[in-house]
């Protein structure tokens, strides 16, 4: 009897351990948001096959001018989808990682939306955002109705969503304006934009401020509406400037480029 009980106890332990292992690798109803790539809108980008390098902002039909420094637009990466959800081990690991955010699957993929549906939606958002960015920049420069209206081609494959709008506008204006608006500084930023130059909030701000840090950007321009989300999450090496419009962002660039500081500019609290 003692031997039988011992064997039963061992069997129960093995079964319980097996069940825990199975549960650990069962898909969870969550997705994980983490840092994504950054792109300098004043620079170039290489396609996925590493076969072709293009200028991110290619402008024709108007004089363009040399730029210096960098204007980084930032992205986030989402791990998980309705067809490939992260397991509980991956989800638990992300929960305790301050650089990542765990979100309910439905918060990213509404019920009934497939991975392909969202790919199409974010691609459409990027296309709309690019046109709004061009319109905002040309409106600011008074070129929206010019006979020889500049043509702007934005080359950025496999990036979706609307959050790069503000940085596209800044890059376009810099290229169409004599002198360097960055003063040679490395500046990151994020925010949607409409044709009138209003800057709107974006998702993944806590990941994006870390990407700004990782790309050596001491200055980070963010939508005013995102400031509260950054409390307690701003790295020591990054100063975050709050903007609500394209004019605000241009004023911030002018201040940073000429004074190498953010004196007098609104900042997000650490």
Overall pTM surpassing 0.95 (yes/no): no
Task: Compute the average pLDDT of residues 156-183.
Answer: 92
CA distance 124 to 160: 8
pLDDT band at 22 (very low <50, low <70, confident <90, very high): low
The predicted structure's pLDDT at residue 82: 86
Residue 4 has pLDDT above 60, yes or no: no
Q: Which of 235, 215, 238, 226 is nearest to 191 (CA)?
A: 226
Q: Could you tell me which of 77, 44, 74, 98 has the C-alpha nearest to residue 219?
A: 74
Average pLDDT over residues 186-191: 97
**Mean pLDDT value across residues 263-270:** 94
Confidence of residue 24 (pLDDT cuts 50, 70, 90): low
Residue with tokens 């004074």: 259
Q: What is the mean pLDDT of residues 65-87?
A: 92
The H-or-E segment that residue 59 falls in is strand 57-60
pLDDT for res 19? 45
107 class by beta-carbon count within 10 Å (0-12 exposed, 13-18 middle, 19+ buried): exposed
Average pLDDT value over all residues in the chain: 88
Q: What is the mean pLDDT of residues 3-29?
A: 59
Max mean pLDDT range (13-27, 37-51, 103-117, 214-228): 214-228
* Structure confidence by residue, pLDDT tens digits, 198-240: 999 999 999 999 999 999 999 999 999 999 999 999 999 999 9
Summarize pLDDT for 59-70 with one digit per residue, the tens.
Answer: 999 999 999 999
Contacting residues for 178 by C-beta, under 8 A, at least 6 apart: 65
Residue located via tokens 């319109």: 135
Q: Given this model, what pLDDT does residue 270 score?
A: 87
> What is the distance between the alpha carbons of residues 49 and 136, in angstroms, rounded to a whole number?
32
Q: Which SS3 state, helix, strand or coil, does residue 245 take?
A: strand
């Amino acid at each position: 009897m003692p031997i039988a009980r011992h064997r039963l106890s061992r069997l129960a332990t093995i079964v319980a351990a097996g069940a825990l292992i199975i549960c650990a690798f069962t898909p969870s109803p969550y997705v994980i948001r983490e840092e994504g790539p950054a792109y300098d809108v004043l620079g170039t980008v290489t396609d996925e096959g590493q076969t072709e390098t293009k200028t991110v902002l290619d402008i024709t039909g108007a004089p363009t001018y040399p730029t210096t420094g960098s204007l980084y637009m930032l992205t986030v990466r989402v791990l998980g989808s309705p067809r490939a959800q992260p397991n509980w081990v991956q989800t638990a690991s992300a929960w305790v990682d301050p650089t990542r955010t765990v979100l309910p699957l439905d918060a990213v993929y509404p019920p009934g939306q497939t991975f392909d549906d969202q790919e199409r939606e974010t691609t459409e958002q990027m296309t709309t955002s690019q046109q709004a960015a061009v319109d905002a920049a040309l409106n600011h420069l008074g070129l929206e109705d010019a006979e020889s209206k500049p043509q702007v081609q934005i080359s950025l494959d496999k990036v979706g969503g609307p959050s790069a709008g503000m940085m596209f506008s800044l890059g376009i204006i810099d290229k169409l304006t004599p002198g360097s608006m960055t003063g040679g500084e490395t500046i990151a930023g994020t925010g949607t934009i409409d044709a009138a130059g209003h800057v709107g909030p974006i998702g993944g701000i806590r990941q994006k401020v870390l990407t700004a840090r990782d790309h050596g950007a001491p200055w980070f321009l963010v939508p005013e509406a995102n400031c509260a989300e950054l409390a307690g999450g701003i790295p020591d090496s990054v100063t975050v400037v709050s903007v609500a419009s394209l004019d605000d962002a241009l004023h911030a660039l002018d201040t940073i480029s000429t004074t190498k500081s953010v004196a007098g500019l609104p900042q997000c609290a650490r």
